[in-house]
């Protein structure tokens, strides 16, 4: 019998070149590396070979596509040797590089060779030098990072703009990419935004105006101009116009629009991809570096108006602590509910869906719930269960298990009668199978009948065993649920005498609260909330009458009429603004 010839393992020839290497003019081109590695492999009889090439990847990051492919091939046992021109091609982080040369490669029986460094893991003497060389390579990268940061800082102090894309409303000057010039297509949108701020419009109202007039968001322009690929952000045309209030806030606060260049707002951390924000006193601001889109007076006045509105909002909302922070969730989209003031003079606090607050009705509905309603409903629910847990512990546990047992998503173990029937039938099948086998041996039945009956019994046997296994798993799960219910009873009993809520109690007892959209039933506003308690999840959904602020059908109708008038006024304001002051743009 012929034996199969084992394929020889490959010699990996790894090449890497980063943009920093190119910038410094090092003779490390990919072609040069390939020639050096191929010649070395030929001279030393190392074959077969396979190239792995990462062009444009830093040595401080090991998440490189070709490098990771090489690691995958090593784990599959396809490679026994890795060769680079020098150790810096493998990596410039001496700790991470050392993990590969000292731990990973030896563990996988990989020979590593760095040609120009005279390093060969098969030669014990060369490994001592390898440790020093790794530290030198990292020092080189760290020094290079410092020099690049210093160069960027110098350019920032000279008022040179440095970023991948120009700010919305500007283009990079074709004659000098560190200089900004107005974008004839998008600059009028920026001017319009500042005009609306000076008219007293808030970010949410401006957001709706831009959406109604179909002004694309800044990211859309970067995408269609090929600056960044953001195709996933725009599944349909409507997505182009979904402005966020935060986007507007940052745009209005950006000094670039009054002619200033501000750099150094974030700082790169060596050996990571993180760019944390810096303190404002470390920003580098140079005034009058390019043509402004609005005057400095307009910019300052707009920011003063926005600051006053934000401070008024904080004073009205942040005055009381939000004990439901991170707890209230939209039952439809799952986003956290945000806390805000209800109206300008009501003094009431409401929670609304975070998606609705950001994108409006285009993404989700309001899911509004008044803080007082939420507080009293949750407090009443906790008090009821706490007293039950303290005075009638077994009834409380039975209540939790009863809701769990009847939840459609939970499967409870098979009844005792059904289990008895299944086990009896399984015994009958096993006995019939034995008899069938004996009849077949004695040739009392044909082969065709044996195979047909055998297949039938095996299918039924398999189905019954699956049912028994599922029942056993469900019984185990139900037993775990009982343990949780007992823990929940002990936990609730500790709060049997509470008369008010605070954040500590809410967080101790509740994982989250799902808030559903309110609806009118027989002239009364009703709302459902679902409280997910610790150890118990949902005990019973709550449906309460929101009578505090929706007291009658008459009041409800008046409120709806007022809301309709406000919508009509806003639409009319948008239409008037479009008619009287259209945004004039020209294609770039």
| CATH number of the domain bearing residue 229 | 3.90.1750.20
CB 20 within 8 A of CB 148: yes
In degrees and rounded to multiples of 5, residue 363 shows phi and psi of -115, -35
Residue 145 resides in a domain:
yes
pLDDT at 1 over 50: no
Bridge partner residues of 530 (DSSP): 514
186 and 272, same domain (yes or no)? yes
14 and 147, same domain (yes or no)? yes
Q: Among 439, 460, 492, which residue terminates a domain?
A: 492
pLDDT at 345: 60
The residue-averaged pLDDT of 240-268 equals 87
Closest CA to 213 of 584, 586, 588, 537: 584
125 and 183, same domain (yes or no)? no
Residue 483 resides in a domain:
yes
pLDDT at 127: 55
pLDDT in tens, 87-113: 889 988 878 888 898 889 999 999 999
The residue-averaged pLDDT of 355-381 equals 87
pLDDT-derived band at 411, boundaries 50, 70, 90: very low
> What percentage of the chain exceeds 70 in pLDDT?
78
> What percentage of the chain exceeds 90 in pLDDT?
28
Pairing state of beta strands 10-17 and 79-84?
parallel
Residue 173 resides in a domain:
no
Q: Among 442, 469, 492, which residue terminates a domain?
A: 492
118 and 200, same domain (yes or no)? no
Q: Full-prediction pTM beyond 0.85?
A: no
Q: Which two tokens stand for residue 367?
A: 């899911």
pLDDT at 586 over 70: no
60 and 152, same domain (yes or no)? yes
Mean pLDDT across the chain: 81
214-223, 527-536, 556-565 — which is least confidently predicted?
556-565
CB neighbours (10 Å) of residue 559? 13
Residue 447 resides in a domain:
yes
Residue 358 resides in a domain:
no
56 and 97, same domain (yes or no)? yes
45 and 78, same domain (yes or no)? yes
Of 479 and 102, the structure prediction assigns the larger pLDDT to 102
188 and 138, same domain (yes or no)? no
pLDDT at 417 over 60: yes
CATH of residue 63's domain is: 3.40.50.1390
Of 6 and 529, the structure prediction assigns the larger pLDDT to 529
Dist. CA 588–CA 586, nearest whole Å? 6
Domain containing residue 304: 179-311
305 and 188, same domain (yes or no)? yes
282 and 184, same domain (yes or no)? yes
Q: How many domains does the chain have?
A: 3
Of 146 and 463, the structure prediction assigns the larger pLDDT to 463
């Amino acid at each position: 019998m012929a034996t199969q010839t084992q394929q020889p393992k490959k010699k990996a020839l790894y090449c890497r070149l980063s943009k920093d290497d190119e910038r410094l003019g090092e003779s490390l081109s990919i072609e040069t590396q390939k020639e050096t590695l191929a010649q070395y492999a030929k001279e030393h009889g190392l074959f077969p070979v396979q190239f792995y090439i990462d062009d444009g990847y830093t040595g401080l990051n090991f998440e490189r596509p070709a490098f990771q492919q090489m690691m995958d091939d090593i784990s599959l046992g396809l490679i026994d040797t890795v060769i680079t021109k020098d150790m810096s091609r493998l990596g410039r982080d001496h700790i991470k590089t050392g993990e590969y040369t000292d731990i990973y490669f030896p563990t996988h029986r990989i020979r590593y060779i760095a040609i120009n460094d005279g390093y060969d893991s098969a030669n014990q003497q060369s490994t001592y030098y390898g440790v020093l060389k790794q530290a030198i390579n990292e020092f080189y990268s760290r020094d290079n990072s410092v020099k690049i940061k210093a160069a960027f800082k110098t350019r920032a102090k000279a008022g040179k703009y440095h970023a991948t894309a120009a700010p919305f409303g500007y283009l990079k000057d074709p004659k000098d990419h560190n200089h900004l010039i107005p974008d004839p297509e998008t600059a009028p949108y920026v001017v319009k935004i500042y005009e609306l701020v000076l008219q007293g419009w808030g970010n949410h109202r401006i957001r709706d105006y831009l959406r109604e007039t179909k002004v694309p968001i800044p990211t859309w322009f970067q995408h269609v101009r090929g600056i960044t690929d953001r195709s996933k952000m725009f599944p349909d045309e409507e997505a182009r116009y979904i402005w966020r209030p935060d986007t507007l806030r940052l745009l209005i606060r950006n000094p670039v629009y009054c002619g200033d260049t501000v750099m150094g707002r974030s700082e790169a951390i060596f050996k990571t991809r993180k760019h944390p924000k810096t303190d404002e006193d470390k920003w580098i601001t140079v005034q009058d570096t390019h043509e402004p889109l609005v005057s400095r007076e307009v910019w300052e006045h707009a920011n003063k108006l926005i600051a006053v509105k934000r401070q008024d909002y904080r004073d009205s909302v942040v005055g009381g602590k939000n004990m439901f922070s991170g707890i209230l969730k939209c039952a439809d989209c799952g986003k956290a509910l945000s806390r805000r003031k209800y109206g300008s003079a009501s003094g009431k606090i409401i929670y609304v869906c975070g998606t609705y607050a950001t994108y409006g009705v285009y993404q989700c509905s309001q899911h509004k719930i008044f803080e007082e309603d939420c507080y009293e409903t949750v407090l009443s629910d906790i008090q009821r269960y706490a007293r039950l847990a303290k005075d009638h512990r077994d009834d409380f546990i039975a209540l939790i298990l009863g809701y769990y047992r009847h939840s459609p998503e939970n499967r409870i173990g098979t009844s005792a009668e059904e289990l008895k029937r299944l086990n009896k039938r399984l015994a009958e099948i096993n006995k019939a199978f034995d008899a069938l086998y004996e009849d077949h041996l004695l040739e009392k039945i044909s082969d065709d009948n044996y195979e047909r009956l055998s297949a039938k019994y095996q299918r039924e046997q398999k189905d019954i065993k699956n049912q028994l296994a599922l029942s056993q798993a469900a019984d185990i799960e139900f037993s775990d649920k009982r343990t949780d219910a007992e823990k929940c009873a002990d936990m609730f009993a500790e709060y049997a005498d509470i008369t008010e809520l605070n954040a500590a109690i809410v967080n101790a007892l509740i994982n989250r609260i799902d808030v559903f959209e309110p609806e009118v039933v027989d002239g009364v506003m009703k709302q459902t909330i679902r409280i997910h308690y610790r150890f118990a999840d949902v005990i019973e959904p709550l449906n309460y009458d929101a009578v505090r602020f929706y007291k009658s059908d008459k009041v409800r109708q008046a409120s709806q009429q007022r809301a309709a008038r406000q919508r009509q006024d806003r639409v009319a304001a948008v239409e008037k603004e479009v008619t009287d002051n259209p945004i004039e743009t020209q294609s770039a």
